[in-house]
């Protein structure tokens, strides 16, 4: 039977590590996914307001098929500089795509908007390059959830957001994990209740075991933070399966169902909703049709669980504009 991995984190995919860095004065941060070796990656963007770096090269017809790291960052456009810090640090380690006698680290990145969240944004020098370098240095198999990394200053329509992760081991032996920074225009919880939209997919009471409510709010006009223009949920799904870049792109596409299951509404014109997919290639597909079907479904499920776990783990910080789930 499918079951969560031993850590219930994206790092249950062997060879992956996650690093986080936060600046609690600014109320922002960044998150880095790195592996022991370059890995195949894809991306799918369904939000109307994305902010990205090097996502074009992840298309199946492009030359470079593998990347050295993936970055999720706060800071809106300023946050893209986190990838520069990661690339600089990787270069000193000799990591990167070989071009003559040079190595160029391939570090795609995506950002969320957390510039209006009660933090001090009057910095003199863009802090994100430093945060990217710190996050890479912090990369480990175990890491915290909630108000950390790219989720440090994240918000939703009704509650503070955060960073979440979850995993599943399939009967095929493949592991699928998700890592999501939840900063949605919509809400992860049903109305004003403690119930998560992702409740049907919960494993072992990982976000409280509250199930679904007996009554639901009017469905057509859900609460949003439209007036704040402070949105975007960004994430990564990863697997140890051997996938091509095209198959990674399909995995990222399927994973977006997790956003729709766990956030209401999702994929709006004011969100930059994006998911990267990463494949380490450690375990070949035995049945390509069936395996890719269940990998895609698993990706959507772990994304939904990771979103709820992000909100569940969030703890209050000074000057938060919204409450945390734990205070409900």
Report domain extents, the chain. Answer: 10-327
Whole-number pLDDT of residue 229: 67
Q: What is the pLDDT along the chain (328 residues), one digit of tens a residue?
A: 999 999 999 999 999 999 999 999 999 999 999 999 999 999 999 999 999 999 999 998 998 889 999 999 999 999 999 999 999 999 999 999 988 999 999 999 999 999 999 999 999 999 999 999 999 999 999 999 999 999 999 999 999 999 999 999 999 999 999 999 999 999 999 999 999 999 999 999 999 999 999 989 899 999 898 877 678 999 999 999 999 999 999 999 999 999 999 999 999 998 999 999 999 999 999 999 999 999 999 999 999 999 999 999 999 999 999 999 999 9
H-run or E-run covering 305: helix 288-313
Whole-number pLDDT of residue 257: 98
Three-state secondary-structure class, residue 126? coil
Q: Is 159 exposed, middle or buried (0-12, 13-18, 19+ CB in 10 A)?
A: buried
156, 32 contact by CB (below 8 A): no
Rounded CA-CA distance 328/193 in Å is: 8
Rounded CA-CA distance 101/89 in Å is: 18
Whole-number pLDDT of residue 227: 74
Rounded CA-CA distance 284/265 in Å is: 36
- Tell me phi and psi for residue 34, to 5 degrees: -135, 155
Three-state secondary-structure class, residue 287? coil
Rounded CA-CA distance 55/28 in Å is: 22
Rounded CA-CA distance 33/132 in Å is: 11
- Dmax (CA) for the chain in angstroms is 64
309, 207 contact by CB (below 8 A): yes
303, 237 contact by CB (below 8 A): yes
Going by C-alpha positions, the residue among 122, 104, 168, 112 that lies closest to residue 25 is: 122
The alpha carbon of 303 is separated from its chain's Cα centroid by a whole number of angstroms, namely 8
Dump strand ranges (E) for the chain: 16-23, 28-45, 52-53, 66-73, 97-99, 102-104, 109-111, 162-169, 175-182, 234-241, 274-283
What class, spelled out in words, does domain 10-327 have in CATH? alpha beta
pTM of the model: 0.97
């Amino acid at each position: 039977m499918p079951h969560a991995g031993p850590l219930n984190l994206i790092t249950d995919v062997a060879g992956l590590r996650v690093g986080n860095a936060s600046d609690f004065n600014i109320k922002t941060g960044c998150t880095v996914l790195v592996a022991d070796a370059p890995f195949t990656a894809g991306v799918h963007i369904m939000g109307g307001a994305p902010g990205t770096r090097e996502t074009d090269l992840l298309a199946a017809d492009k030359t470079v098929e593998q990347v050295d790291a993936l970055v999720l960052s706060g800071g809106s456009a300023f946050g893209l500089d986190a990838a520069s810090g990661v690339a600089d640090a990787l270069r000193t380690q000799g990591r990167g795509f070989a071009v003559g006698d040079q190595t160029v680290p391939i570090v795609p990145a995506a950002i969320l908007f957390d510039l209006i969240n009660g933090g001090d944004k009057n910095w003199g020098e863009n802090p994100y390059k430093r945060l990217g370098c710190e996050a890479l240095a912090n990369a480990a198999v175990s890491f915290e959830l909630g108000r950390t990394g790219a989720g440090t200053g994240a918000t939703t329509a009704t509650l503070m957001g955060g960073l979440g992760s979850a995993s599943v081991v399939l009967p095929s032996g493949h592991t699928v994990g998700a890592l999501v920074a939840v900063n949605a225009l919509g809400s992860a919880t049903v109305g004003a209740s403690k119930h998560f939209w992702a409740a049907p997919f919960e494993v072992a009471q990982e976000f409280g075991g509250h199930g679904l409510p007996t009554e639901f709010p009017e469905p057509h006009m859900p609460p949003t933070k439209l007036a704040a223009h402070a949105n975007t949920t960004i994430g990564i799904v990863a697997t140890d399966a051997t996938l091509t870049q095209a198959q990674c792109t399909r995995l990222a596409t399927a994973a977006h169902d997790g956003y729709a299951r766990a956030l209401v509404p999702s994929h709006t014109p004011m969100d930059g909703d994006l998911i990267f997919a990463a494949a380490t290639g450690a375990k070949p597909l035995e049945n390509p049709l069936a395996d890719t079907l269940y990998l895609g479904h698993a990706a959507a499920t772990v994304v939904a669980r990771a979103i709820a776990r992000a909100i569940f783990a969030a703890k209050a910080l000074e000057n938060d504009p919204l409450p945390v789930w734990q205070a409900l």
